[in-house]
Chain A
Amino acid sequence: MARTAFLQGNEAVLEGALAAGARFYAGYPITPSSEIAELASWRLPGLGGVFIQMEDEIASMAALVGAAMAGAKAFTATSGPGFSLMQENIGLAVMVEAPCVVINVMRSGPSTGLATKPAQADIMQARWGTHGDHPAVALVPSSVSECFSLTVAAFNLAERLRTPVFVLSDEILGHMRERADIPDTEALEIWDRPRPAGDPADYRPYRPGPDGVPPLGTFGGPYVFHVTSSMHDERGVSANDAKTAAASVARLVGKVSRNAQWLPRPEVVRSGGGGEGGTGAGRPVLIVAFGSSARAARQTMLDHPDHPLTLFRPRTLWPFPEAELSALVDGHAAVVVAEMNTGQLVGEIERITAGRRAVGLAWRSDGEIITPEEIWAAVRRTLGGDGR
């Protein structure tokens, strides 16, 4: 039944995973994600699912790939140090097209860093952490309600795209409790992986369907297939030729971009008569922020109601919603990016803005949450002149 609850972000992630049909968890507990493992260990056995505490995160990710191929909706939760260890087998999941979900409750690094404090510094690792050309899908919740809804979306996307999907939360979101709206599980739209049909003898495990995604058989079932991390043809058999390689990489990357309409859309919020036709005093500024930083940006807007401000908040960080952002740039005098790292997303925003407007940065990398005042200062700084 739909309910309004006072929930922790990590609890909401777990509830979302279960509602999406997740029945396999393999992981190694790490602050600030451990509540997800703990709750999964309590809840999954009663649902006929499996919880395994693995020896490390390398093995955890390997277990996810195996579970996915055996038919389960599989997930794990970790933080920076564990996410680093998972990178090799994330590449394996990409290559063999194993649907799975990795929750990264980001904390301050590098290395074990500030183990109990927040950061948003793993976003480029989520994009490019594993080697080789590959797609990346990363969702970024900004509230406890979204910890639920975007985890459901992550499983849906993983299944339908047959690729690992990341949920990038952070210590603030993971540990804070807030009022959250949890929809009725029956009312959720749940997607499952495309499955093969027809004569098993004709099954070509890597022949793409109409979406560019191959139907996935289940290990132990009638559709027998071979899985290899090396370049392979439609039969799943190793193939070293240039033609197969070019087509495989293009399809792996292209299956995400061609189905971009499946990705959660960004939220755009205007205040102070922000944007085109604005009535507020001052030149309009476009703020780009996600996750906890977006909560600070919303507060900046509430604290300065007379200045026209627009918040562009991606729910899908990768692939970044370039066209939506690009369309907003010209209606503003400047762009400000707010992120809890030394400046990772800002490079992407500069690329999309392409010199049309000044791009400023509000950043923080000391394990503390970025504040509304810091974002306001960046707005004034980026506008230059009188800062209005």
Chain B
Amino acid sequence: MLAEAKPRGARWEGVLAGEGGQGLVVAGIILGEAAVLEGLYAVQCQWVFGSAARGSLSRSEVVVGPEEIAFPRVLKAGVLLALTPAALTRHLGMLGPGALVIVDSDHVPDTGDVPPDADVRPLPILRTAAGLGLARSTNVFALGALVALTGVVRPENVEEALRRRFGVKAEPNLRAFRAGADLAAGG
């Protein structure tokens, strides 16, 4: 079942976290680009915990709203996407009340420390994307699930952002985005 779309008047704050190399910084940028295409305001910041380009903990923060964004960083995340155990535990303190927590069910099996008021959605993101031959688009696959579960932006605007960013290479990303949404919808 899909969650209710957030009311348009609210400041929406999301954290996309995983390992450097998984593409979640780019996923956050695409989400911001889609928001701007939709006529909304958006800010994206990234945080890399270490000097390694790949393998160290990485976080992309996205804030979306109907008006200019004042504070550019996430204050209380309404949504956390975590693809590794560290990506979950490190960001539990950033969760707002009743946050949506999307975790990779294979790589983040233990969600026992998540506050009880959070809505935890374990999904086999990496496995499903790999099974469809879309391992390199795992970030966009995960974004598909996040957008489907939150309704923060309209899917067609993400697809337009993907076309603009990837040009002739957009097709596997469009497939990944739709497949991620299908997984979130239980399809």
Contacts and interface: CB of A to CB of B under 8 A. Distances in A.
Contact of B42 (A175, A179, A298): A179
A178 B75 contact: no
Interface in B44-65: 44-46, 48
Contacts of A4: 36
Contacts of A178: 32, 41-44, 69, 72
Contacts of B70: 295-296, 298-299, 301-302, 372
B36 A296 contact: no
A177 B75 contact: no
B94 to A, nearest CB: 12
A378 to B, nearest CB: 16
Q: What is the interface of chain B mostly: helix, strand, loop, or mixed? A: mixed
Nearest to A301: B70
A83 B163 CA distance: 40
A39 interface: no
Given A176-B43, A178-B43, A295 B36 contact: no
Contacts of A172: 45, 72-73
B71 A299 contact: yes
B41 A179 contact: yes
Nearest to B39: A4
Nearest to B73: A369
Contacts of B42: 6, 178-179
A362 to B, nearest CB: 14
Nearest to A4: B36
Contacts of B46: 175
A5 interface: yes
B75 A372 contact: yes
Contacts of B19: none
A295 B44 CA distance: 14
Interface residues of A, number: 21
A274 to B, nearest CB: 15
B33 interface: yes
B29 interface: yes
Nearest to A294: B70
Contacts of A296: 70-71
Nearest to B51: A116
B37 to A, nearest CB: 9
Interface in A231-268: none
Nearest to B48: A116
Nearest to A176: B45
A192 B114 CA distance: 59
Contact of B71 (A143, A177, A179, A295): A295
B69 A177 contact: no
Contacts of B29: 6, 177
B56 to A, nearest CB: 12
Given A172-B45, A292-B72, A372-B70, 20 more contacts: A4-B36, A5-B36, A6-B29, A6-B32, A116-B48, A143-B68, A177-B29, A177-B43, A177-B44, A177-B45, A178-B44, A178-B72, A179-B40, A296-B70, A299-B70, A299-B71, A299-B75, A301-B70, A302-B70, A369-B72
Interface of B: 29, 32-33, 35-36, 40-46, 48, 68-73, 75
12 contacts: A6-B36, A6-B42, A6-B44, A172-B73, A175-B45, A176-B72, A177-B43, A179-B41, A179-B43, A369-B73, A372-B70, A372-B71
